[in-house]
Structure 1
Amino acid sequence: MPLEQYGALGDGRSVALIGLDGSIDWWCVPHMDSPPLFDKLLAPQTGGFFSITPSEPFVAERRYLPGSNILETIFITSQGRARLTESLNSGPAGRLPWAELGRRIEGIEGKVNFEIAIDFGTQADTVSPYVAPNDNACVFHAGRILGMFLHDHHVHIERKDDMGVRAVLSLAAGQRSVVAIIAGRDEPLVAPPLALIDERIDGSHREWCQWSKGLVYDGPHQTQVVRNALALKLLLSSPSGSIMAAATSSLPERIGGSKNYDYRFAWIRDAGYTIEAFLGIGAQPEAKAAFTWLLRRLGEHGPRVFYTLDGAIGDCVRTVDLPGYKNSPPVVGNDARDQLQHGVFGDIFETARCFIDSGNILDSPSAMLLSGLADQCADCWRQQDAGIWELPEKQHYTMSKISCWQALSRAIELADGGHLPTTCRERWDRERQRIQAWIERHCWSEDRQAYLFYPDSDRLDASLALAVRFGYPSKKRLRSTLEAIDHDLGAGAFHYRYTYAQEEEGCFLACTFWLIEAWAILGNQERAEAAYADALKGLSHGVGIYSEMVDPQTGQYLGNLPQGLTHLAALRAAMAISGCHPER
């Protein structure tokens, strides 16, 4: 199944991916970073899945219900049409104390026959699932997961054993059926009536609509802004306030390649950008929860690249004994956990400044923590690091230096506003000036008329478009750098991360939207609008859930999804076009 044909469901605790064929091929239970109950995405022949598919050839049309993360698919066969509505349900007071995957099938016209299939999967041969006798439902165990498959009288079970369930369903126009999986880990389960699960599908839709209607953005591209905000909301862990970078692991940046990573962690960068975006669209509770979570992690562990969703230090990479998506070897964990990345300082302080600018207040311990981080940034900016792209080769990456300049600039602004102690304010200012002088002396190329990836290289870096948003003052040079990036790294509507990246991966979608945002901030609205339209056209074959990368030749999605950074960049680009976030 092409990645662009997947939609995503979420309940604030877990995320499920559903193919256009009605198959749920990825679902980590009970949390976003738990081992997957359904993992066919990474093991097409042996992985777990839950499919509801017409038994004869069909055409499928799919959409999200407006303002909602409820997914609707229309199946069209030669005999009739039917609607599949799917939800990871919530309750009237928020998320349920269990995972509830509700799937409603309705006959619209004629008659449609369905095949229902569930394979519990073995979690990469680490568990042996089994079905337990029970009069109330089809109860199954998969390692520490306890689950039950619920269905109504329309569903006829043909097979039920330790490996899964096979059933059939036939619906005429006006008939409806509801099936569901209830699941939890190391806990007893309730068996809700199917009628209540059915009601909660509609109730969850109302909850999503209430949230999206509370967003304050009313500028151009509102539909895209709301859809991107809803996608980001899927990645917010409601138990903790942490924000996951993406809902999957090991989806390749090039088919069959080795650049496959686990993104089910909370990156400081992604969390910071998401908090800023939530503040910009009026999602104050989510922003506050995420910022509080981030400050606590910084206090516990210092400025790491990322943390687990519950706030611990992440695991190093280990391989998983699965074939992977299109034979791209999968992994869990991420070796970036031990990297030095100066960009985290800029992300932290930009987020803090946005939090304050939205009328919020820092507590004294948080102010002291941030002051100490500013000192740390002033101490270490001269060191090489792994850069925003987390590369194995340490360099004096230009973007890292700009991020340190950004961090100290925001720290000074916060101190001047009475939000941080002013003890080291003058030292921060001196170091900020030194950083800018260093960048202008070492990172600018007269030959290329652009800031380079790092000094003495001939390479460009598309992330430098972010320097415009950060308020870096050399506007003439930044404009020239954007032109060079567009020319050298562009491929149709999209852009590669840096020079030579095309040899090993697809175009990085966030880079394209960062460039669009930069052009808009610099006042070139017409160019930004045209580039935004081209990007949306290039992504229009999906349902609005974006991956990390795209193959510019085929339009095939690459990398993990839903990818928070892509949705963030797309949202901010639209807001910049509208003038919502003018240059500092």
Structure 2
Amino acid sequence: MTETAIADHGMIGDLQTAALVGTDGSIDWFCCPRFDSPSVFGALLDEHRGGRFRVRPAGTEYVTKQMYYPDSAVLITRFLSEQGVGEVVDFMPPSGEVATGRHRLVRMLRCVRGRMSFDIEVAPRFDYGRRTHTAQVTEHGAVFSTDQLELSLHTVREPEDERLARGRAEDGDVRVAVDLVAGQVRGMILESGADGPPREIRVAEFQRLFDETVRYWRSWLARSTYTGRWRQVVARSAITLKLMTYAPTGGLVAAPTMALPEQVGGERNWDYRYTWVRDASFSVYALLALGFRDEAAGFGSWLGDRIREHAGGEGGPLNIMYRVDGSADLKEEVLQHWSGYRGSRPVRLGNGAAEQLQLDIYGEALDSMFVGAQAGLDVPYRGWLAIREVLDWLAGHWDQPEEGIWETRGGRQPFTYGRLMCWAALDRGIRLAVAQGRPAPLERWTRERDAIYDQVMQHGWNEHRQAFVQHYHTEVLDSALLRMPTVGFVAPRDPRWLSTLDAMDAELVTDSLVYRYNPDASPDGLRGTEGTFSLCTFAYVSALARAGRIEDARHAFEKMLTYANHVGLYSEEIALTGEQIGNFPQAFTHLSLIEAALTLDDALDDRTGHATAP
């Protein structure tokens, strides 16, 4: 298979959807009009049937480089050849906070030195390649049409240029050739929801779009209050999280992609284009810590809406994930006609795990609300009533088997992490009620919170392993438990916790990279193996720092930074070869990176007695 490697991509977006641009100048993934809409370009999952929007030099050997324009989400792919140096500058102007069908993929072609001819291929495959379309070349561009979606291709040029004399439509695709000399700028804009037919755009207007987009991102990033040691890395993670936010609702998608494998050739291929309660909750802490109060409030509002909508529902007040608009229809199906990334099948669309019972989500949700309240984000009257209803339900239902954080499909168990986070949910609810003088059945909540604590200490601790284990009926270790000291369940230097950390060092850690658990020792209902989980590696850094192993933490953190791709993005996992695998980029990984950087900064400052220099 010839699909471009997962890590050989940068991401652009407009806060309602996103596109992945390969180092070869090809847009290999793009869904429209939302993150969770059907794909238009899907070559990442099928080279031949997925569709792509490719720009590359014609008739010459070349090498490529890719970078982000500083402090922005504007991506530059450079082509270097003996004839000249050219660039394609890709970005999407932000769409705003109102859901809209208008989205623009802007591709600016520039010759920097010498001369360069570009071959351009626009080959959409609508609805995951299941829907036929027509392509019509016009005087100023082209139109791609289906019965559900229409895309307009506008050309960027000056009056003296030829009028698409070298452009042609063939089998629904459009191919164009552009010749440039040093200093010339041309390009195209692919637009959904256009007001009219394709139009001719002048270079000056093109440049204005570029300037406005850069200005937006730099203005947004300037609000960051982070002054720690890893500013560039943290800034890129913050921009990445912002790019994965659906602005109309504040929902954060776990990743903009689907079906990218956790093992190449394996079946662990999930659709991540949805908003997990867990991820959205973690984002509140990370963004508040960086000073992005509006975004944290937006995520908190999204979460509050879900609690108010579903309080009292069957199977628990909350689903584990939702679509970006808050709906819960995530029926899983398999795209039989796609080969999958490097032959990794099945190619799953939708996510059957949405119906699982994962009790930990209540802890993450309540912890984020507690952190938000401490930062001055209001909990209104209706919000408190919904929180109280959730906690009343949890107080009566925490002691039951569940599927757990990793969404395994091997049956329900009394997972230690789920119990841990139920404890956290009740603990934060009690603290909120006391701090804000809200009515609550504190005696009941306290009794159940303390019962969870005693149960975890008795049954979650395994004497033989001298460690906390994945669930009560196993000796398997689980790196989800790295959050035990973070939420305050155990002291970070408690002997039981230090012993658990030592056990993880021996079994789950390899070259500072961390596995979720050992799938061979813990049957999870799925075939195959997986790589190390990047979010777990960053959680390991935080745990080391809290445990006083500061040098180990810094070494692990710096080493993990070398596994980022060329523009600072992380997928879900790292394979044995060091290759990035899994959905990309993954929000949870970047959230964990930010938390690790903040925790490590604090530990280093405490050791030296000096705050980080601004």
> Do both share a fold (TM > 0.5)?
yes
After TM superposition, the structure 1 stretch with the greater mean CA deviation from structure 2, 169-178 or 265-274, is: 169-178
Following superposition, the deviation at residue 376 of structure 1 comes to: 1.5
Does 2:599 match 1:576?
A: yes
The 8 Å contact of residues 451 and 481 in structure 1, kept in 2 or not, is answered as yes
Distance 1:170 1:555 in 2: 39
The 8 Å contact of residues 275 and 287 in structure 1, kept in 2 or not, is answered as yes
Alignment match, 1:345 = 362
The 8 Å contact of residues 92 and 203 in structure 1, kept in 2 or not, is answered as no
User: In the TM superposition, what are the counterparts of 1:51-62 in structure 2 within 5 Å?
Assistant: 51-55=54-58, 56-62=60-66
Instruction: For residue 402 of structure 2, give the secondary structure of its aligned residue in structure 1.
Output: coil
Q: 1:445 aligns with which of 433, 443, 462?
A: 462
The 8 Å contact of residues 250 and 260 in structure 1, kept in 2 or not, is answered as yes
Distance 1:83 1:14 in 2: 24
User: In the TM superposition, what are the counterparts of 1:269-348 in structure 2 within 5 Å?
Assistant: 269-301=278-310, 302-320=317-335, 321-329=337-345, 330-348=347-365
Alignment match, 1:531 = 556
Alignment match, 1:485 = 504
Structure 1 unaligned blocks of 5 or more: none
Distance 1:173 1:349 in 2: 57
Alignment match, 2:484 = 467
Alignment match, 2:577 = 554
After TM superposition, the structure 1 stretch with the greater mean CA deviation from structure 2, 356-365 or 157-166, is: 157-166
Distance 2:596 2:135 in 1: 49
Aligned AA (1:80):
G
The 8 Å contact of residues 546 and 566 in structure 1, kept in 2 or not, is answered as yes
Alignment match, 2:47 = 44
Distance 1:192 1:408, change over 3 A: farther
Following superposition, the deviation at residue 135 of structure 1 comes to: 4.0
Following superposition, the deviation at residue 95 of structure 1 comes to: 9.1
The 8 Å contact of residues 95 and 103 in structure 2, kept in 1 or not, is answered as no
Alignment match, 2:186 = 177
Instruction: For residue 454 of structure 1, give the secondary structure of its aligned residue in structure 2.
Output: coil
User: In the TM superposition, what are the counterparts of 1:489-508 in structure 2 within 5 Å?
Assistant: 489-500=508-519, 504-508=529-533
Distance 1:94 1:313 in 2: 20
The 8 Å contact of residues 260 and 559 in structure 1, kept in 2 or not, is answered as yes
The 8 Å contact of residues 331 and 352 in structure 2, kept in 1 or not, is answered as yes
Distance 1:459 1:156, change over 3 A: farther
Distance 1:109 1:201 in 2: 21
The 8 Å contact of residues 371 and 420 in structure 1, kept in 2 or not, is answered as no
Does 2:132 match 1:128?
A: yes
Following superposition, the deviation at residue 196 of structure 1 comes to: 2.3
Structure 2 unaligned blocks of 5 or more: 311-316, 522-527, 607-614
Q: Deviations over 1:294-321 (max 9, x none)?
A: 1111221231111111111132210012
Q: Deviations over 1:136-155 (max 9, x none)?
A: 43111134121111222377
Distance 1:485 1:492 in 2: 13
The 8 Å contact of residues 137 and 169 in structure 2, kept in 1 or not, is answered as no
The 8 Å contact of residues 257 and 273 in structure 2, kept in 1 or not, is answered as yes
Q: Deviations over 1:508-557 (max 9, x none)?
A: 11000001011222333222111101111133x43212111110x31111
Does 2:38 match 1:35?
A: yes
Instruction: For residue 246 of structure 2, give the secondary structure of its aligned residue in structure 1.
Output: coil
Alignment match, 2:611 = none
Distance 1:414 1:213, change over 3 A: same
Following superposition, the deviation at residue 198 of structure 1 comes to: 3.2
User: In the TM superposition, what are the counterparts of 1:145-160 in structure 2 within 5 Å?
Assistant: 145-151=149-155, 152=157, 153=161, 157-160=166-169
Distance 2:251 2:33 in 1: 15
Following superposition, the deviation at residue 157 of structure 1 comes to: 3.0
Distance 1:133 1:7 in 2: 29
Alignment match, 1:16 = 19
Distance 1:484 1:250 in 2: 33
Following superposition, the deviation at residue 500 of structure 1 comes to: 2.7
Following superposition, the deviation at residue 121 of structure 1 comes to: 1.5
Following superposition, the deviation at residue 419 of structure 1 comes to: 5.6
The 8 Å contact of residues 117 and 166 in structure 1, kept in 2 or not, is answered as yes
Distance 1:128 1:91 in 2: 27
Q: Deviations over 1:480-507 (max 9, x none)?
A: 2122112201122311110236951111
Following superposition, the deviation at residue 111 of structure 1 comes to: 1.5
**TM-score under structure 1 normalisation?**
0.95
Instruction: For residue 131 of structure 1, give the secondary structure of its aligned residue in structure 2.
Output: strand
* Count, aligned residues: 579
Alignment match, 2:450 = 433
After TM superposition, the structure 1 stretch with the greater mean CA deviation from structure 2, 116-125 or 558-567, is: 116-125
The 8 Å contact of residues 514 and 540 in structure 2, kept in 1 or not, is answered as no
Identity %: 31
Following superposition, the deviation at residue 348 of structure 1 comes to: 1.0
Q: 1:519 aligns with which of 530, 541, 544?
A: 544
Following superposition, the deviation at residue 97 of structure 1 comes to: 6.1
After TM superposition, the structure 1 stretch with the greater mean CA deviation from structure 2, 493-502 or 525-534, is: 493-502
